[in-house]
Structure 1
C-alpha cells in the first residue's frame, strides 16, 4: 500500500480530501495529517509516507520551508502542493525542491485522482528501476569471480583494452604485478584416440583435473601464480618472480614443466606438451611471453629433455620464424571467442586482419598455408565440439582434409575460412546453442569453484534467471549428462587428487569435497573410480 500524508491548515480541506481520495482504487492508505508545517514535519518524519499533499501558507512553518527541511534530511517521497496562492515565485521554489506537482485550489476530485495516479505510477517505475539495479548489483557480485578470471585470461593473451593497461586499473588481487617480473608456461593437451571419444562434460572434468595438478605443483615452487584456460586444448600458467631475483628461473620453469607433464601422464593417462616463454619486466608484456611459449611448442624448438616434449623459448630462432608468430595465440583466442558467441562479422574481420598481416610476411609456402589451415580448423572444430555440436552435421573430416590439401595461397585460405565461419554462424543449431553454451560454461565453472558447498540446480537457476526444469534440459543437451552427475564427478575427481597427496584422512577428504556422510562418499568413490578411497592412502 502507498502511504499518503496530508498537511493543510484548513481542517475542512483535510477532511474533504480524505473522503475524496479513492484509497482502495489507488492501492493507498492514509497515514497521518497536520494543521501546520511544524507538526507536518513531525508526522512525516514518524510515518515516512510515499506521498505528501501539502498547502504552502500555514502557521508556525510554511509548506515550502517544511519541504526544504525534509529534503535536507534526505526525504525521498513525492510531494504535491495544493495552494490557494498561485504565482511564479512559489512554483519556482517548489521545482527547486523536486516537487511532483503544483496545483491551485480548489481542485476537482477527477483532477486529484489523475495527479495521484501519475505520482503513484512514478513511484512504481522508480521501484522497478531500483529492483532492476539491485538485481544487476547482485549479478555483478555473483559474476565478479568469473569476470576476474576473464580479465586474467585477457591479460595472458593480449586482448585487454589499452585503458586497462596501467597500475591504477589493475584489479586489486593483481596489484602486485606492477612490482614483479613475469613469465609464462604454456601447456597443450594432446588429443589421442581415447580422448577424442570424450564428451563435452568429460573434457570439462579433464580440464578441471589439469588445473588442480598444475595449481598444486606450481604453488610449491612459486609464491605467486595464475592458471587460466584458453578456448581450446591449451592453457597458460603465469608466474611472477621478484624483480631483484638474480637467479635464472629458466631451469626452475623447465623442471616444473617436466613435473606437470609427468603428473598429467601418470594421473590422467594423457600426454601434453609444455612451452617456456621468456622473462618480462612489465605485466603488459605477458602476452609476448605467452606467444613465445606456444611458438616454442609449435616449432618444436630447443627441447629440454630427450623424449620429453618440453620446449624453451629462444629469441634468435624466433626472429627467424617471425611469419608463423603473428599474434597466433591472441588471434586464435579471439577467433574462438567470436565463433562461440556466433558473432560472424567479428570472426570474419579477425580473419581478414590476420591474413593481412601474413601477406606482409615473406616466403609463405603452400606447406605453411596448409599447416596454418589445419591449426585454425582445429580451433574452430574445438568450438563446435565444446558447444555440443557434432562436426559431421556440418562438415565431414574427409571433406575438410581434401579442401585443406587444395589450399596453396593465403587468399585461398582467407576465402575458405570465411566460407566456413559463415556456414557455422548461420546454422540454426549454432545460433540457438551459443547462449546456452555460455550459461553452461558459467555453471561448470561455478561447480569447479564451489564443489565443496551445497550446490543445487535450483540455486543456479536463480543465478542465471532460467527455470530449474529448462536449465536441467540445457545442461543435459550441452554436456550429455545431468547436473547432479557432473557435480558428483567433479567432487570425486578432487577427492582422488587429495587422497593421492596423503595429507588427509578419508573422512576429512569427504568433508572437504562436500560430503558429510562418509559411507555414502566411499560408495560413490568406488562406483566412479573402481577402487576404495583407502586404496589411495595406503
Structure 2
C-alpha cells in the first residue's frame, strides 16, 4: 500500500480531503497532515511517504519551496500541487520545479482520484522496473561469480599461454585485463575416525570456515581498491585464495596479504576450533601464471607439514643436496627386521631414531604413508603370529590402514604412528611374555598416584618417565581401572583428604595443599562432587 502526506494551511481543505476522498479504495494510506511547509518537510523526513499533496501559499515555507526541499532529497519524488488561484504563472512555475500534477481548488473528488491513481500507477511501474533491474543485477552477479569460480578452478589445474586465455569472458566477468596474482592455500587439519554424523558436522564446519575466510578478506582488503581476492573451496579440506592486484605488488600490498592470511588462520582457530596449514606462493604477472603461484603454495604447505600448525609459510626456493632427501632405507629395513624378530627394545630404539631422522621427516607425505603402512603390516603380522591371541577389541589391519591414510600432514602422520608403535610394542610384549597390561597400570598407581598424590603431577609426565605414549597410557588406564586418570587420581586424593579431616588437626586449606591441590576452592568443588558434601560439612 502506498502512503501520502496532505499539506494545507486551511484545515477545512484538510478535513475535506480526509473525509471525502476514497483513499483506501485507491490503495493509499495517509501517514500525516501538515499546516505549513516547514512542518510538512519535517514529517516527510520522518514518515517517508510515497506521495505529497500540497497547497502553494502557506506560511513559513510555501508549496514550491517545500517541493524544492523534497527534490533535493529525492529528485523523482511525485508532488501534487493544489492551488486556489487560476494562475498561469504558478502552473508554469510548477512545471519548472518538476511538478507534473497541478489541481485547482476546489477540485472534484473524481479529479483528485484520477490524478492520484495516475501517480500510483507511475510509482508501481517504477517499482517494477527497479525490481526487474535489481533482479537482473543479482542474476548477473550470480552468473559472474559462478563463471569466475569455474575460470579460476580451470587455471589451478591447466596451464595456458597468454594468447589462449578467454579474454571476452574475462571482460564479461569484470576482471582486470592486467593483474598480478598470488595464491594462498589453506589446508584444514581434519581429525581421523569420523562417523557419518561427524562427516555432516565437518561439512558444517567447512562451510563456516569459508564464511569466515570471506568476512576477514572483505574487512582486511576494504581499503585497497586495486586488490581483490577470490576464494575457492578447492577440496574437502583445502581452500585456495587468489589475490588479484594491479600491474605489480609492492611491499605494502605484500604485507597486507600476509596480515590478511594470518588473520584468517587466527579467526578460524578461534571461532571454528580448526587448525590449518597455510602456504603462500609468490606474486606472478598474468592469469596464465596462477598455476605457478598455486604450485608454490602447495610446496610451502609441504614445508608447513614439518613445522607448527596455524601459521602462514611463504614459498622459498630450496636447494638441498639430493642425498639429504633420500629415504633412510637401511634404517627402515633394520626396523622391519627388529619387529619381525620381536626384538622389542631394538625396535623401539630404531623407531625413535627414524622419527628423528631429517631425511625421513622431510619426505613427501605419500612416501611417509608407504613406509608407515609397511611398518603397521609388519608389527600386526608379528603380533598375530604370537602364541597369545589379540584382544577382541584390537583394531584390524584394514581399519588401521584406513586411519593411516586419513592423516593429512606429515607431522600428524608421524604423531599417529608414534602412538601406534607404542601400542604395537606393548601388545607384542604382552603376547610374547604372557603379561597383562595391569602391571603397567599397577606401576602408575603404586609409584606415582600413591607416592606422589601430594605433588602436582600429570599423566603426560608419568608417561614420559615410564617411556610410553601419553595417549596410549591414558586409554589403557581407563580400560583397566574403568575411570579416566584424572578422576581416579582425584578420588584417591579425596580419600586421603577424608583421612586428614577425620583427625581434626588441620584447616581445609592446609589439607587441600597436603593432598596436591593448589587451590582450596577447587579442592572443595572436587570434594563435594565426589562425596556429595563439602569438606567443612564432612569435618563436622
TM-score by length of 1: 0.33
More RCO (CA 8 Å, sep 6+): 1
TM-score by length of 2: 0.33
